[in-house]
Amino acid sequence: MSEIRIIIDGKECIGNQGDTILQIAEKNGVYIPTLCNDESVAHYGACGVCLVEGEGLPKLMRSCSTVVSDGWVLHTDSERVLKARKVALELLMSDHDGDCKGPCSLTCPAGTDCMAYVKEISKGNYHEAVRIIKDKFPLPASIGCVCPHPCEKECRRQYVEAPVSIAYLKRFAGMRDLEKDTWTPEIAPDTGKKVAIIGGGPAGLTAAYHLRVKGHAVTIYDAMDKMGGMLRYGIPEYRLPKEILDAEVKLIEDLGVVMKNGVRIGEDMTFEEIRSSADATILAIGAWESAKIGCAGEDAEGVIGAIEFLRRNITGDPYDIGDNVAVVGGGNAAMDACRSAIRLGAKNVHIIYRRTRDEMPADDEEIEESMEEGVAYDFLTNPVQIVSENGHVKEIKLQVMELGAPDASGRRSPIPIDGQFVVLPVDTVISAIGQRINAKGLDVELNQKGVIVVEEDTFRTNLRDVFGVGDAVHNKTGIAIEAIGDAVRASEVVDSFLKGELKPFKAPFVSIRKDMEKVKAELADREKVMRIQVPKRPAEERKHDFKDIVIQLTDEEVQNEAKRCLECGCHDYGECNLIKCANCQEICPDRLRGEYHPGFVETKLVTIERNQKKCIMCSLCVRTCDEVAQQGILGLVGRGFTTVIKPEFNDPATIAVCKDCHKCADICPTGALKIIG
């Protein structure tokens, strides 16, 4: 067989006479996306994704079915090719109801594969569950303790009875993994590159973890005595026992991350000293200053920010709060402050919030538990004056409010009611209405709010080798998992920068079901299995100390809770060739979206679940059944748009063959075929 030579994207490729373009490309390590091709069956050319352009040739060619001529010069990414491939992929995805990832994973700011680790927990595989979590971040137990779990708010199990307790499952798996044979990642070979990270909170620790795993030398600089940031100095012990955080920080340090504490920028080291010591610098300084209340008299003694109040208590220097405490704010920091005040001995603790409970951003569970512990709530009130006596706060005057029209966030705006006020006696007022960053000593561009300015898709500041993540770069303070999500994405960008080519972060394309009413209907007949209630220590006991309030569940209880997961995401997402192709270039299927093909799920193939909603009609399964299995069980039924693939069972012997074959499922390029037995 004579040898031929062609050029693909500037690379000389060698093949044999009679080879297709795709065969030669694969032999020479050139990737051309394709969906309908497999060497076990005859070339077909159905999907239109593998198009290439040849110099001097008039038409685009399907590389899977076009036989090569010697000397051809081909391009897989020319403007014509990309435009045609884009249309082909958009047509396929516009009709594809793949539900690539569960809503829990899509909602998680860090993109954690919740469905996958919950499934492993259901089988008692805590080690594997932690491996999956640590694909995104290195603090599963700590974050499991404190996360307000946005993932659970979108969990489809709520359409049956109640969401899966995802956050607690993460905490349980993380703690089990810490107890014995803790999972740790392999470190890539040393790259010779150095990264400096300023700030050792959840974002800084996560960025350090990922960049160290990639083989870079990483040093974290932090102003506090220990690493952990707000996880250590802002979250009370009863929510996050610090021995858990200590253990997870130690695991990061054991990977080879250098941790330098007690380093204050501008005092112990300059920003330029740190920057000049590394090839890239990441600013993860967080937001460590409480916002002012904005009312008269707030400079009086006895008025303190929630951040300082919580930090002092955690470091063993508790603030003298007296008997009567008012906490202004409605977020989770306000919950931490009011519940800590109860534990410090305050007799009367009030939450001052200018809207109603329905608008409170704090987690419902936190609100309920604070009420059980004795915290009172003054809704629809807003501070207008703090009254002092001998320089110390004595009273807080509150304007009574009512709700008006929704504001920019969608919440109804509070409006003062003329002449209506309430006065509370107070010894301490704690401001928990927001946080601000302190960028002192950092020579980077700030916006009008004092926030570090970064490019949205690269996290880069105005300095080419300096990047920013977490609360330091956002106009409002977020939760820990949001800062972690920043660090996950930024670490990929910084890694590309260190390798010589800055690649902006691009969110992966996924197929998402939008017909929630249909989803609810599909779940209507599911057996109801109530969500497990994670036991807490009684309020009368727990409110007198800072010990962990959670009572650990048993392995059986945890595994049964994990089994409630509906596994909404596609079983084949990690191996799906369709989604791989869809992410090769920018596509927008919505512009071509029209009527869906008829969709159904059935199990006539006995040990294979067939989901027509995910089928792209590539016919690989039909051709495999004909040409490889030589059974002819599958076929195209119907004409035109309504054509579907269906099995035809003629006798018991055919059914028996199908039961053990699985060749069609093995070759399917999407998740349309799933082995179930």
Burial of 585 per CB tally in 10 Å (0-12, 13-18, 19+): middle
b/e sequence 34-54, b meaning 16+ C-beta within 10 Å: bbbbbeebebbbbbbbbbbbb
- Residues 284 and 240 occupy one common structural domain: yes
Query: In whole numbers, what is the pLDDT of the chain averaged over residues?
Result: 94
**Both tokens assigned to 401:** 């409010």
The answer to the question of residue 105 being in a domain is no
- Residues 131 and 86 occupy one common structural domain: no
Per-residue pLDDT tens for 447-506? 998 999 999 999 999 999 999 999 999 988 899 999 999 999 999 999 999 999 999 999
Tell me: pLDDT of 215 over 80.
Answer: yes
The answer to the question of residue 12 being in a domain is yes
Per-residue pLDDT tens for 533-559? 999 999 999 999 999 999 999 999 999
Strand partners, 467: 282, 460
Residues 6+ away with beta carbon under 8 Å from 402: 380, 414, 415, 417
CB atoms within 10 A of CB 448: 6
Looking at the structure of the chain, the number of domains it has is 5
| Cβ contact 51:60 at 8 Å | yes
Tell me: pLDDT of 598 over 70.
Answer: no
Tell me: pLDDT of 1 over 70.
Answer: no
Instruction: Give the residue-averaged pLDDT of 46-54.
Output: 92
Whole-angstrom Cα distance, residue 580 to residue 33? 8
- Residues 282 and 309 occupy one common structural domain: no
> Residue 670's domain spans which residues?
598-675
CA distances from 124 to 129, 134, 155, 566 (A): 9, 17, 21, 17
- Strand, coil or helix: 138: coil
- Residues 205 and 247 occupy one common structural domain: yes
The answer to the question of residue 300 being in a domain is yes
b/e sequence 268-306, b meaning 16+ C-beta within 10 Å: ebebeebbeebbbbbbbbbbbebbebebebbebebbbbb
- Residues 407 and 379 occupy one common structural domain: yes
- Residues 243 and 371 occupy one common structural domain: no
Instruction: Give the residue-averaged pLDDT of 28-49.
Output: 89
pTM of the model: 0.92
CB atoms within 10 A of CB 199: 30
The answer to the question of residue 127 being in a domain is yes
Continuous segment of H or E residues that includes residue 439: none
Domain holding 202: CATH number?
3.50.50.60
Domain holding 49: CATH number?
3.10.20.740
Instruction: Give the residue-averaged pLDDT of 70-78.
Output: 95
Tell me: pLDDT of 407 over 80.
Answer: no
The answer to the question of residue 503 being in a domain is no
**Both tokens assigned to 590:** 């919505």
Instruction: Give the residue-averaged pLDDT of 255-272.
Output: 96
Instruction: Give the confidence band of 155 by pLDDT, cuts at 50, 70, 90.
Output: very high
CA distances from 239 to 20, 231, 506, 536 (A): 62, 10, 35, 11
- φ and ψ of 7, to 5 deg: -115, 125
Residue in the block written with tokens 């208590």: 313
- Residues 164 and 215 occupy one common structural domain: no
The answer to the question of residue 156 being in a domain is yes
Q: Which of 433, 452, 478 is the last residue of a domain?
A: 433
- Strand, coil or helix: 613: helix
Spacing of C-alpha 115 from chain mean position: 12
Continuous segment of H or E residues that includes residue 43: none
- Residues 308 and 423 occupy one common structural domain: yes
- Residues 300 and 414 occupy one common structural domain: yes
**Both tokens assigned to 534:** 């994670």
- Residues 310 and 428 occupy one common structural domain: yes
Tell me: pLDDT of 649 over 90.
Answer: no
Q: Which of 401, 418, 433 is the last residue of a domain?
A: 433
- Residues 383 and 486 occupy one common structural domain: no
Tell me: pLDDT of 647 over 90.
Answer: no
| Cβ contact 210:487 at 8 Å | yes
The answer to the question of residue 506 being in a domain is no
- Residues 202 and 279 occupy one common structural domain: yes
The answer to the question of residue 103 being in a domain is no
Domain holding 535: CATH number?
1.10.1060
- Strand, coil or helix: 644: strand
Domain holding 662: CATH number?
3.30.70.20
Tell me: pLDDT of 654 over 90.
Answer: no
Please report the pLDDT score of residue 602 as a whole number. 85
Whole-angstrom Cα distance, residue 546 to residue 555? 26
DSSP states of 305-371 = EHHHHHHHHHTT------SEEEEE--SHHHHHHHHHHHHTT-SEEEEEESS-GGG--S-HHHHHHHH
Q: Which residue has the higher pLDDT, 592 or 263?
A: 263
